[in-house]
Amino acid sequence: MEETLAIFIASTLRLAMPLMLAASGELVSERAGVLNLSLEGMMLTAAFFGALGSWATGNPFLGVGYAILAALAVAAVQAWLSVNLRANQLVVGIGFNILALGATTLLYRIIFGGLSREEIPGLPKLAVPGLSDLPFAGTAFFQQSVIVYFGFALILLIWWMLNQTSFGLAVRAVGDEPKSADKAGIPVARTRWLAVLITGAMAGMAGAFISIADIHTFTENMTNGAGYLALAAVIFGGWNIGRTIAACLLFGAATALQFQLPAMGINVPTAFLLMLPYLLALLAVAGVVGRLDPPTALTLPFQRGK
């Protein structure tokens, strides 16, 4: 029983990690007033280019670099369209998701073609010396992919940046009161640009985690809605980083349960467990878990003098 629980915790962490990375990144740009529905597309692009980079160079760490660069490229176009061209952020996001699905599938078929399902060099697991041998916590926490530990560090960094730095203050200002922020001399466009790029980098890590650290290959549409789940987690978390991370863990646990429960002889329909995160997010947006307070200028482009 104890062993099962430890494995359950470990797989919850593994399944929640891409969500946590993507959601904490997305949180930054939503706090700045930009909604990236394209998060799914960024992650899928990153998963593909990460796998490609890792396969081509033979070095999974370089693969992570490729993944981040690819997601940053998507984020840059998203930022240009939503900040400079004042395009409808939702429409742009939908467009990117269609494009990313098409482009990664196409490139995968062209480049990998016959090599499909070939395993790529993956990131190693890191058994933390001394801790990984602990009876319960060892299995649960300390035998994860290296990216998991790094990921937690990044999330802490984002928390610190949002809440303790002047950049974080600027982010919140341009997301809530862009006009006042502009009058106070905060560069609205530049702050939003940076926020979207941070989202891109984190989505890149998330995509790399899925293809390089977890599955060790690329498959078509492999993110399979994880980006949307991360968006749901931000909403469920009420635009607060702690609660967002908790939501990701909850969603990860729900997904992990679909493998755990049958093993324990408990029969719950898989579909229900898969549905659970979206149902919870629906309850959250309906205000059941308390009144939500989204950034005031979320999805609203800013134009001086208007």
Partner 1 sequence: MTTLVMTMPDRRRLMALSIPFAAVVGSMAVGLLLIAVSGKSVPDAIEAFLDGAFGTAFAFGASINRAVALALIGLGFILAARANLTNVGGEGQIAVGGIAATALALWAPVAGLPLGLAVIVPLLAGTLAGAVWGGIAGVMKVRFGTNEVISTLLLGFVALLMVYWCVQSTALLRQPQTSSSTLPESLPIPDATKLPGLTGDPESPLHIGLGICLLLALATAIVLQRSTFGLRLRAIGLNELAARRAGMPGSILLVVALGIAGAFGGLTGAIMLQGEQFYLKAGFSSGYGFDGLVVGLLSRGSTLGVLAGALFFGFLRSGGISMEIMAGVPSALTLVIQGLIVIAVAGSVILVEKLEGGQR
Residues in contact with partner 1 by the rule CB under 8 A: 77, 81, 85-88, 90-92, 94-103, 105-106, 109-110, 225, 228, 232, 235, 269-272, 274-275, 278-279, 281-282, 285-287
Shortest reach from residue 198's CB to partner 1, in Å = 22
Q: Is 238 helix (H, G, I), strand (E, B) or coil?
A: coil
Which residues, 6+ apart, have CB-to-CB distance to 15 below 8 Å?
252, 255, 256
For partner 1, give the closer residue by CB, 264 or 279: 279
Instruction: State the burial class of residue 220 (Cβ atoms within 10 Å of its Cβ: 0-12, 13-18, 19+).
Output: middle
Report whether 13 contacts 252 (CB < 8 A).
yes
For partner 1, give the closer residue by CB, 91 or 127: 91
Shortest reach from residue 172's CB to partner 1, in Å = 20
From 249, 227, 293, 225, select the one nearest 31 (Cα to Cα). Answer: 293
Report whether 84 contacts 189 (CB < 8 A).
yes
Shortest reach from residue 74's CB to partner 1, in Å = 11
For partner 1, give the closer residue by CB, 123 or 231: 231
For partner 1, give the closer residue by CB, 86 or 190: 86
Shortest reach from residue 109's CB to partner 1, in Å = 4
Shortest reach from residue 279's CB to partner 1, in Å = 6
From 234, 251, 222, select the one nearest 298 (Cα to Cα). Answer: 234
In sequence order, what E strands does 54-168 have?
125-127, 143-145
For partner 1, give the closer residue by CB, 196 or 205: 196
